[in-house]
Chains A and B, each alone.
Chain A
Amino acid sequence: MSDGQVIPVHLRDQRLADEIAAAIRIVRAVRDGSADAETELVQRYSRGLRYLIIKKTGDDVLADDLLQETLIIAIKKLREQALENPQRLAGYLRGIAIRVALNARRRRSREPYLADTAVLESMPDHGKRQFECVSAQETKAAVLKLLDSMPVKRDREVLLRYYVREEEKSEICRTLGLDSLHFNRVLYRAKNRFRGILERSDEGPDLVLE
Chain B
Amino acid sequence: MDRNYIDRHLLVDRYLAGAVPDDELADFEERLVWDEELIDELDLAERLREGMLDAARETRYVVPTQTGFVPRLRLVFSNAGYAAAASFLVGIALSVLMLGYRSDTSVPEEIRYSVNELQVFRGAGGPVIATTPDAMSILRFEVGHSFENYRVTIQAEGNPEPLWQQGGLVPDGDGMLAVGVPGASLPSGSYLLTVHGVNDGQTVLDRQIPFAAD
Question: Is the Cβ of A12 less than 8 Å from the Cβ of B4?
Answer: yes
Let me know if B116 is at the binding interface, CB within 8 A.
Answer: no
Question: Is the Cβ of B43 less than 8 Å from the Cβ of A48?
Answer: no
Let me know if A208 is at the binding interface, CB within 8 A.
Answer: no
Question: Is the Cβ of A52 less than 8 Å from the Cβ of B32?
Answer: yes
Interface size of B in residues (CB-CB distance below 8 Å): 55
With A12-B2, A44-B34, A90-B31 known to touch, is A98 a contact of B160 (CB < 8 Å)? Answer: yes
**Set of chain A residues within 8 Å of B140, measured between Cβ atoms:** none
Q: Min CB distance, B145 to chain A, in Å?
A: 21
Question: Is the Cβ of B196 less than 8 Å from the Cβ of A164?
Answer: no
CA A160 – CA B4 in complex, angstroms? Answer: 25
**Set of chain B residues within 8 Å of A58, measured between Cβ atoms:** 151, 153, 162, 165, 194, 196
CA A27 – CA B51 in complex, angstroms? Answer: 41
- The contact of A140 among B26, B31, B51, B160, by CB within 8 Å, is B51
In this complex, the interface size class of chain A, counting residues with CB under 8 Å from chain B, is: 35 or more
- The contact of A49 among B33, B41, B64, B202, by CB within 8 Å, is B33
Nearest-neighbor residue (CB-CB) of A130 within chain B: B43
Nearest-neighbor residue (CB-CB) of B31 within chain A: A90
Question: Is the Cβ of B202 less than 8 Å from the Cβ of A144?
Answer: no
Question: Is the Cβ of B49 less than 8 Å from the Cβ of A163?
Answer: yes
With A108-B205, A140-B55, A144-B60 known to touch, is A13 a contact of B3 (CB < 8 Å)? Answer: yes
Considering residues B7, B26, B56, B71, which has the most beta carbons from chain A within 10 angstroms of its beta carbon?
A: B56
Let me know if A16 is at the binding interface, CB within 8 A.
Answer: yes
Question: Is the Cβ of A51 less than 8 Å from the Cβ of B39?
Answer: yes
Question: Is the Cβ of A143 less than 8 Å from the Cβ of B48?
Answer: yes
Interface residues of A (CB under 8 A from B): 9, 12-13, 15-16, 19, 23, 44-45, 47-49, 51-52, 55-62, 88, 90-91, 93-94, 97-98, 101-102, 105, 108, 129-131, 134, 136, 139-140, 142-144, 147, 156-157, 159-166, 169, 184, 187-188, 190-191, 194-195, 198
Query: Beyond A15-B35, A19-B35: 9 further Cβ-contacts under 8 Å?
Result: A51-B39, A130-B44, A136-B50, A139-B51, A143-B55, A144-B58, A147-B55, A161-B63, A166-B71
